[in-house]
Chain A
Amino acid sequence: MATLKPVLVTRQVPASPRQRLYLVEVLIGLGVTAGHFFRNMGRWLSGGKGAVTYQWPEERRPLAPRLRSLHRLVRREDGSPRCVACMMCETVCPAHCIYIVAAEHPNPDIEKYPERFDIDLGKCVFCGYCVEACPEDAIRMDTGILEFSAYSRAGMIYSKEVLLGLEPAGADGLPTVQPPAAVIRRGFP
């Protein structure tokens, strides 16, 4: 194995006489910022937007359609979860933050259903593996909801009921339902 010798890289370019004089460069700099000032003032006075920043929460930056946001569970026609409690997502999840309790489904065509399905979003790394792994397309990350928080760790655990209540984001990428209020639960497994 070849050893790498440290090399001292000098990036400092010697200052030109004009730069050493400082004053000219100062004036150029002032011109640049003053240019920004007048351009933005012009835009603003003519009713435009003289800023590149977004005024969150009133304004939201457009999100990529592929963005992975808060999870949701997809429902069947009758409203029951599409999930068959196969545990694939729980197994693949690198953060071990999905907890499923499987139960027998009354319908003999369906083998199992999740009695409980909790995601600890305080641990989730939003890798999307659960979505990829699911054979039933029962879990998705397309709600567009990014603003969810809680005052406790338990508050970051989202239950099956909450996840089933979420809807996909609209065509503009904005969430169509309010972010769920934190569900505080005790005695989590």
Chain B
Amino acid sequence: MSALAVDLGIAVAKVGFVMGFVLNLGGLMTWVERKQSAVMQDRVGANRASIFGLRLIGLFHPLADAIKMLTKEDFIPARADRALFLAAPFVSVFFALAGFATIPFGDVLRVGGREISLQAVALNAGILYVFGMLSMGVYGVLLAGWASANNYALLGGQRAAALMISAEIAIGASIMGVCMVYGSLDLQEIARGQGAYWAGVIPKWGIFTQPLGLILFLTAGIASTKRIPFDFPEGESEIIGYFIEYSGMKFGMFMMADFVETVVIAGMTTALFLGGWQVPWLFADGFQFPGGLSVGLPHLVVVALQIGAFVLKVVLMCWFLMLVRWTLPRFRYDQAMRLGWLGLLPLAVLNIVVTAAVLLL
């Protein structure tokens, strides 16, 4: 087997893992959203879809959704720009999905003398890439609004785009502090940098080095996913969103894009602030606890633990984002704009200045 074929195989496997993870988690989020909101609100929640009387706490609902969306009338307005109208949901989903590519889900895996960096794409400017992808999502929204030939959809698209842009600038500014602390734009390097310890006890995770950055990033991140409390592009009954003219699976893709973006934001938070794949006191050759106790572990177990820790952290973050989504009421449009431009952005700049000052001292 040529080296090229092996490289190709490894790349395909990594991309497959990431795609499978993000898509499955995104799909599962439709169930989590219903079930978690139900549990939070003392309800029972989605449990009606059943196969031969088997309900499995509502796990068949995503399946039922898919069948419903695929069999619904696929409507295209007469005066819509057909090509753009069809392209918009794909653009939305694509850029949401592509965002996860540079997020590392483990350290290096050594097999047969090879060192495989456990991220779908190793980029030394990974953060910029994720940004790029998140910001491109605006195009899907704007295209949908424009191509629908519906003034309400157009307005909805403008609202969504204004929100996403104000949020993305705040995201960009809020994670500059992290880049400065760990001295890299490469997400893998940042994750590695979080393996250091203060006094051998407290891990140098972003949540401890950049607490303000975390809050700003989460706020702006939730805004960029267009979900509550920043969901004024949607709101079925009172606000008319950019997807008003979409039906069936094309509408489902916009929903899916939101869920996938939630997963991407969870992954970003994990990689930047929660130590990525780091397990506390787990080093390349096993655990070394602060007391001096150490447990040796084989390489494969360490890698498996790291991947497990990453998945767990992402799932926990998804849970937290859902918790936020089902707790807070919606912002008014002007409030969200003011929060983005007059709250998050100046605070993020302040965060950069303070971080720089601390680093210089």
Nearest chain A residue, comparing its CB with the CB of B324 = A30
Contact A50 B42 (CB under 8 A): yes
- Residue A23 at the chain B interface, CB threshold 8 Å: yes
Nearest chain B residue, comparing its CB with the CB of A50 = B39
Given A33-B323, A37-B39, A44-B39, A51 and B44 contact (CB-CB distance below 8 Å): yes
Number of interface residues of A (CB under 8 A): 17
- Residue A138 at the chain B interface, CB threshold 8 Å: no
Pick from B44, B47, B215, B323: contact of A34, CB below 8 A.
B323
Question: In the complex the two chains form, what is the Cα distance from A50 to B215 in whole Å?
Answer: 31
- Residue B152 at the chain A interface, CB threshold 8 Å: no
Contact B42 A36 (CB under 8 A): yes
- Shortest C-beta distance, B57 to chain A (Å), equals 9
Residues of A within 8 Å of B40, CB to CB, are 33-34, 36-37, 40
Residues of A within 8 Å of B328, CB to CB, are 26, 29
Residues of A within 8 Å of B215, CB to CB, are 23
Question: In the complex the two chains form, what is the Cα distance from A30 to B321 in whole Å?
Answer: 11
- Residue A152 at the chain B interface, CB threshold 8 Å: no
- Shortest C-beta distance, B342 to chain A (Å), equals 13
- Shortest C-beta distance, B308 to chain A (Å), equals 22
Nearest chain A residue, comparing its CB with the CB of B319 = A37
Contact A40 B327 (CB under 8 A): no
State which residues 30-69 of A face B: CB under 8 Å.
Answer: 30, 32-34, 36-37, 40-41, 44, 50-53, 55
Residues of A within 8 Å of B41, CB to CB, are 36
State which residues 81-96 of B face A: CB under 8 Å.
Answer: none
Contact B43 A33 (CB under 8 A): no
Question: In the complex the two chains form, what is the Cα distance from A36 to B38 in whole Å?
Answer: 10
Contact A33 B44 (CB under 8 A): no
Question: In the complex the two chains form, what is the Cα distance from A34 to B326 in whole Å?
Answer: 10
- Residue B225 at the chain A interface, CB threshold 8 Å: no
Number of interface residues of B (CB under 8 A): 15
Q: Which of A23, A41, A53 has the most CB of B within 10 A?
A: A53
Contact B42 A33 (CB under 8 A): no
Nearest chain B residue, comparing its CB with the CB of A36 = B40
- Residue B278 at the chain A interface, CB threshold 8 Å: no
- Residue B210 at the chain A interface, CB threshold 8 Å: no
- Residue B36 at the chain A interface, CB threshold 8 Å: yes
Pick from B39, B44, B327: contact of A30, CB below 8 A.
B327
Residues of B within 8 Å of A33, CB to CB, are 40, 323, 326-327
Residues of B within 8 Å of A41, CB to CB, are 39
- Shortest C-beta distance, B219 to chain A (Å), equals 9
State which residues 36-67 of B face A: CB under 8 Å.
Answer: 36, 38-44, 47
- Shortest C-beta distance, A68 to chain B (Å), equals 29
- Shortest C-beta distance, A30 to chain B (Å), equals 5
Nearest chain B residue, comparing its CB with the CB of A34 = B323
Question: In the complex the two chains form, what is the Cα distance from A53 to B36 in whole Å?
Answer: 15
Residues of B within 8 Å of A51, CB to CB, are 38, 42-44
Contact A53 B44 (CB under 8 A): yes
Residues of B within 8 Å of A23, CB to CB, are 215
Question: In the complex the two chains form, what is the Cα distance from A158 to B323 in whole Å?
Answer: 50
Question: In the complex the two chains form, what is the Cα distance from A135 to B130 in whole Å?
Answer: 81
Nearest chain B residue, comparing its CB with the CB of A32 = B327
Residues of B within 8 Å of A40, CB to CB, are 39-40, 42
Question: In the complex the two chains form, what is the Cα distance from A30 to B39 in whole Å?
Answer: 14
- Shortest C-beta distance, A17 to chain B (Å), equals 15
Question: Can you show 23 pairs from A to B with CB atoms below 8 A apart?
Answer: A23-B215, A26-B328, A30-B323, A30-B327, A32-B327, A33-B40, A33-B323, A33-B327, A34-B40, A34-B323, A36-B41, A37-B40, A37-B323, A40-B39, A40-B40, A44-B39, A50-B39, A50-B42, A51-B42, A51-B43, A51-B44, A53-B44, A55-B47
Closest 6 A-B residue pairs measured CB to CB?
A: A33-B327, A52-B42, A51-B44, A37-B40, A40-B39, A33-B40
Enumerate chain A interface residues (CB-CB to B < 8 A).
23, 26, 29-30, 32-34, 36-37, 40-41, 44, 50-53, 55
Given A26-B327, A33-B327: 6 more A-B contacts, CB < 8 Å: A23-B215, A29-B328, A34-B40, A40-B39, A40-B40, A53-B44
